[in-house]
Amino acid sequence: MKESVIIERVKEKKLRNGILITGLPGIGLIGQVVGRYMVEEVKAKRIARLLSPHFPHQVFMTKNGGMRLIRNSFFIHRGKKRDVLFLVGDIQAMSSVGQYEVAGVVMNYAKKMGVKEILTVGGYSTGKISEERRIFAVTTSEELKTRFKKLGVIFGEARGSIVGAAGLFPAIGQINGINGSCIMGETHGGYVDTASARQIVLLLSKYVDIPINIKRLDQKAAESQKVLKKVQEDIKRNMENQFETTTSAVSSYIR
Amino acid sequence: MKESVIIERVKEKKLRNGILITGLPGIGLIGQVVGRYMVEEVKAKRIARLLSPHFPHQVFMTKNGGMRLIRNSFFIHRGKKRDVLFLVGDIQAMSSVGQYEVAGVVMNYAKKMGVKEILTVGGYSTGKISEERRIFAVTTSEELKTRFKKLGVIFGEARGSIVGAAGLFPAIGQINGINGSCIMGETHGGYVDTASARQIVLLLSKYVDIPINIKRLDQKAAESQKVLKKVQEDIKRNMENQFETTTSAVSSYIR
Amino acid sequence: MKESVIIERVKEKKLRNGILITGLPGIGLIGQVVGRYMVEEVKAKRIARLLSPHFPHQVFMTKNGGMRLIRNSFFIHRGKKRDVLFLVGDIQAMSSVGQYEVAGVVMNYAKKMGVKEILTVGGYSTGKISEERRIFAVTTSEELKTRFKKLGVIFGEARGSIVGAAGLFPAIGQINGINGSCIMGETHGGYVDTASARQIVLLLSKYVDIPINIKRLDQKAAESQKVLKKVQEDIKRNMENQFETTTSAVSSYIR
Amino acid sequence: MKESVIIERVKEKKLRNGILITGLPGIGLIGQVVGRYMVEEVKAKRIARLLSPHFPHQVFMTKNGGMRLIRNSFFIHRGKKRDVLFLVGDIQAMSSVGQYEVAGVVMNYAKKMGVKEILTVGGYSTGKISEERRIFAVTTSEELKTRFKKLGVIFGEARGSIVGAAGLFPAIGQINGINGSCIMGETHGGYVDTASARQIVLLLSKYVDIPINIKRLDQKAAESQKVLKKVQEDIKRNMENQFETTTSAVSSYIR
């Protein structure tokens, strides 16, 4: 296998007013959590997998003694108004050359499947924990911007650069005549942020008009919130201890 | 040479009910030991070699003043019930891109030669020394699982991921319509485990129905077992010493 | 996207007696500063962009909520006597393989556009701050050398090697039948040297006979000169302190 | 430029009983010293250069204000009995993939030019300085072995592996139907060994029957021998000092 390939499991008819939603690992794992949760909740149908020599040369062992390559998977959901093609997976390509190649392969497949819009999900790392979990975005289209703004998404505040597929897909999509956006959940950056993922699931549920039961994710978010609170308290306590230690160390030094 | 290539030394007729058995370097060198031992014992015939720009750019100097490229080699053994194609060698490809390329080249050759099943041999590292040396496996086929289970191979217990050709070959094979399994000898992971390799040779001898004299490997295993026992005693003694040192260090600290 | 590509925004007629001037990031950022300033001052027209899998897999977020790939851009300026094709951008290819590929792609485009001469701009690092900011050059053509020498450019003094596009483009150009030069501003190497860039803008303005208002760059140079002076004073002060520290350390040592 | 290429400066008729002699940088720089010296002494004619994206993306500035790519060069010498194609240069390809690609490109060119034998020159590092500077070799052909043995070359003593073009070229040559040898000068490995290079020049002069004046190389070898003696004395003195220092440090510690 010399090139990244998409291997179709089942042939599917073209999407109606198709949107590609990608949820791959990245900052705070927000993309991956969002993608997997939506795919599970809407019971989307697995239709293809993406393999790449730019993914690690590893297979996972499954609990029943099976094995599978590290991969990305495409799922399809036929909605009332529009159809969604989900791309979720274990990993992103490990090099710049690999990222560009995978983006090209995905764009070709998206075109073939009738995708008219690209929506990638990622995290926007602020280094602190925000209660609000705002949603930032950038887009290649003024029309898309208007639509997202109506749903409370913030444009023009996130700055800097987006690394990986979340940025590359809409940008390469535009060259291929498909507009797109990157939707980023505000997050600390240092841990899996289910609470931020939850906000984005709610947004996408409205945006693509698919009812999604958020309960399971709420539970997860509550659990991870508890873990987080504990972590924060530990950090605080450690910092105080450290301060004390430092103080006593200093005092013993200046003694 | 831009691509990995297989260079045939002799043309051979297609295999009858062919099985590809690969024994390449990996955890505990179990694959390599098994592959080399079986090839030697059944006096398999060298029919092709695999060269790759993803192998190191080195040649070995031979004792009679010759030279040869780092390579993998194919050997053939015509059995009573089925024919075996062995792949053994010095090395695996050094990058993910190289691993996928080599896997693709090997699959094409295997198909051409009439291979119907892939069997890779590796080690499963547990970090401790087991007397039992169990054999774990994962497979792409329920039928193969049933066959191996009858021979005492354990499915569903080994977890995590398999790095390299041992995992990639059966997984890429499946895409190419050839089912396969990865057979893993239980091993410490930190040294060459001839005893674990021995168990797998016995298994494969039954599985492909080739009588193999295990004596030479038993001797090696006995020797390495002695070395190992010595190593363990040394480690134990060192740890005790270390413990004493630590204890005294602590006592001097809390004094 | 597997290969580096040039994507034309507008089709343009061939250049008359065309010269390609490249200003990419490098030593002292002199190339980038020169390229961007000239493009802005002559209001050159953006006609194409260069994308490459050898650039980082990142997009920049823009202040109005847009996004764009890391890229290089081509601008065109129709002069009185000759037309200029500018190549400016965020980055150079990140590997040797990428640098050679991009150079090949640019050469093909340059030929197609009627480029007859290549001129790259870089910095020549001396490790000290020169008031004079001399201009060094190397070239593939005696005729070009003569022309630049008349304008005070120094040949045969800069030694060693040039890393990246500034050296590669004229050298690969020559193989493609297009002569070229690399013009290097004398610079410290450790900071952005607007003053050195200024000298090169003046030179190029004469060389390609385009009037360029240097005022904005003079202001920037003055500002950075002030910053620099401050930095130098700080360094000097620190070194004196350090010297004192060292002295006292030594005296305590030899005590 | 995506691939390694050979660019011919002048077309030359095929070699009579051609031999390719390569002298590229490697252990003790012996190959490079031998190659350059022979090319200069026999006034071989430059006929082609080899460029590669696997060489560094750098150009050298020349003393007269010119520039040239990092490269390898082919020179031709029409001998009385057989013609020699020399390959000398600044560098070897920087990756395994690059080394194999360059080897393939060189083999194609060698075949086209009528090369019937490959001879690479390298160093064999022993970590000590031998007065004798023996010459070791490995070869792909018994016939070549016999010929070299008559000239005092030692086969079967050098062991381990040869890294880079010196090993790759004869090995890849053999696959292409051209036999070859790698001739290695015994050397310390830690410095440029002109004395060892000298021995190989003498050998090759006999082997390909080209008279070569060794005087200039003798002078260089004598000079570097002096430098070396000085270095050795310094090392010895330093080691004695270090020993003393260590001793006193220890004594002050156990005081």
pLDDT single digits (tens) A177-233: 999 999 999 999 888 999 999 999 999 999 999 999 999 999 988 887 787 777 677
B254 inside 8 A of chain D by CB: no
What is the CB neighbour count within 10 angstroms for residue D51? 21
Contacts of B182 in chain A (CB under 8 A): 59, 67
- Reference A213, options A46, A44, A41, A92; nearest CA is A41
Any chain D CB within 8 A of the CB of B61?
yes
CB crowding C4-27: b at 16 or more within 10 Å, else e: bebeeeeebeebeebbbbbbbbbb
CA–CA separation, B187 vs B200, rounded Å?
12
Burial class (CB in 10 A: 0-12, 13-18, 19+), D127: exposed
| Phi, psi (degrees; rounded to nearest 5) at C78 | -85, 105
CB–CB contact A139 C65 (8 Å) = yes
Q: Identify the pLDDT of residue D246.
A: 39
CB of C47 within 8 Å of a chain D CB? The answer is: no
Measure CB to CB from residue A161 to each of C53, C61, C65 and give the nearest one. C61
Model pLDDT, residue A131: 83
Which residue ranges of chain C lie beneath pLDDT 50? Answer: 243-255
Rounded to whole angstroms, the Cα distance separating D94 from C243 reads 43
- ipTM comes to 0.88
Give pLDDT, residue A245.
Answer: 40
Average pLDDT of adjacent 10-residue blocks, chain B of 255 residues:
93 96 96 97 97 97 96 96 96 97 97 98 91 95 98 97 97 97 94 94 96 93 78 69 44 36
User: How sure is the predictor about A249, in pLDDT bands with cuts at 50, 70 and 90?
Assistant: very low
User: What does the pLDDT read at residue A240?
Assistant: 61
Question: Is the CB of residue A147 less than 8 Å away from at least one CB of chain C?
Answer: no
Per DSSP, the residues of B62-105 read PTTS-EEES-EEEEEEE-SS-EEEEEEES---SSHHHHHHHHHH
- Whether B55 has its CB under 8 Å from any CB of chain D: the answer is yes
Average pLDDT over residues D76-97: 96
Would you state the structure tokens that stand for residue B235, as one six-digit string?
A: 């480690």
Strands (E), A5-82: 5-8, 18-23, 45-51, 58-61, 67-69, 72-78
Distance from CA of A167 to the nearest CA of B (A): 24
Whether chains B and C touch (3+ CB pairs under 8 A) is answered by: no
- Please tell me what DSSP assigns to residue A236: H
Are residues C145 and D58, on separate chains, in Cβ contact within 8 Å?
no
Phi, psi of D143 (to 5 degrees): -65, -45
Question: What pLDDT is recorded for position A244?
Answer: 45
C30, C193 in Cβ contact below 8 A?
Answer: yes
Residue A250, pLDDT above cutoff 70: no
* CATH classification code of C5-213: 3.40.50.10900
Is B138 at the interface with chain A, CB within 8 A? yes
Query: What DSSP string runs through C68-84?
Result: EES-EEEEEEE-SS-EE
Report DSSP letters for C27-63, one per residue. Answer: GGGHHHHHHHHHHHHTTPEEEEEEE-TTS-SEEEEPT
In degrees, rounded to 5, the angle at the alpha carbon of residue C153 between the alpha carbons of residues C148 and C156 is 100
Nearest CB neighbour to B58, from listed D103, D162, D175: D162
Q: Which residue of D5, D8, D59, D96 is the best one to mutate when testing the C interface, meaning the one whose CB has the most C CBs within 10 A?
A: D59
Residue D250 pLDDT > 50:
no
Closest CB to B138 among A52, A66, A69: A66
Contacts of D63 in chain C (CB under 8 A): 156, 159
C104, C156, C168 ranked by CB distance to D2: nearest: C104
Is B161 in CB contact (< 8 Å) with chain A?
Answer: yes
- Cβ–Cβ of B101/A51 closer than 8 Å? no
Q: Which residues of D touch C93 (CB under 8 A)?
A: 57
Select from C7, C58, C66 the Cβ nearest to the Cβ of A139. Answer: C66
Q: Is C161 an interface residue toward D (CB < 8 Å)?
A: yes
Beta strands C5-8 and D45-51, pairing class: unpaired
Q: Closest CB to C156: pick one of D64, D69, D70.
A: D64
User: Can you tell me the mean pLDDT for D107-135?
Assistant: 94
* B128: Cβ contacts below 8 Å, ≥ 6 apart: B188
**A30-41 and A194-207 are packed helices; what angle lies between their axes, rounded to 10 degrees?**
50
Q: Are A45 and A75 in contact (CB under 8 A)?
A: yes
Q: Where are the domains of chain B?
A: 5-213, 214-255
CB C69 within 8 A of CB C193: no
Chain D interface includes B91 (CB < 8 A):
no
Beta carbons of D1 and C101 less than 8 Å apart = yes
Chain D residues within 8 A of B3 when measuring between CB atoms: none
Size of interface A-B (CB pairs under 8 A): 79
d(CA B219, CA D251): 51
Size of interface B-D (CB pairs under 8 A): 79
Percentage helix, strand, coil for chain C under 3-state DSSP, each rounded to 5? 40, 25, 30
Please give, rounded to a whole number of angstroms, the shortest distance from the CA of A91 to a CA of chain B.
Answer: 14
Nearest Cα neighbor of C210 from C8, C10, C19 is C19
Amino acid at A5: V
Per the listing, tokens 């700055």 go with: A159
Touching chains D and C? (3+ Cβ pairs < 8 A): yes
Q: Could you tell me which chains touch chain D, where touching means 3 or more CB pairs under 8 A?
A: B, C
- Any chains having at least 3 CB pairs less than 8 A from chain A are B, C
Q: What's residue C255's pLDDT?
A: 33
Q: Letter for the amino acid at A119?
A: L
Contact check, Cβ <8 Å, A61/B171: no
d(CA D228, CA D193): 10
Res D247 pLDDT > 90: no
Please name the residues between 174 and 193 in chain D that touch chain C, using a CB distance below 8 Å: none
Q: What is the DSSP string of C87-120?
A: EEES---SSHHHHHHHHHHHHHHHHHTTEEEEEE
For residue B114, the distance in angstroms to the closest alpha carbon of chain A comes to 19
Q: Say whether C54 and A96 touch across the interface (CB within 8 A).
A: yes
Q: Mutate which of A105, A135, A138 to disrupt the C interface (most C C-beta within 10 Å)?
A: A138
Q: What is the DSSP-derived secondary structure letter of residue B14?
A: P
The first and second tokens of residue A187, run together, are: 């997050």
d(CA A5, CA A53): 9
Cβ distance B156 to A65 less than 8 Å, yes or no, reads yes
Contacts of A162 in chain C (CB under 8 A): 58-59, 61, 67
Question: Residue length, chain C?
Answer: 255
CA–CA dist C85, C39 (Å, integer): 10
Taking the Cβ of residue D48 and every Cβ of chain C, the question of whether any pair is shorter than 8 Å is answered with: no
**How close C7 comes to chain A (CA, Å)?**
9
State both tokens at A13.
């008819």
Report the distance separating Cα A173 and Cα A119, nearest Å.
10
Contact B53, B1 (CB under 8 A): yes
Residues with Cβ within 8 Å of residue A204, at least 6 apart in sequence: A21, A34, A38, A119, A121, A183, A210, A212
CB contact under 8 A, A155 and C64: yes
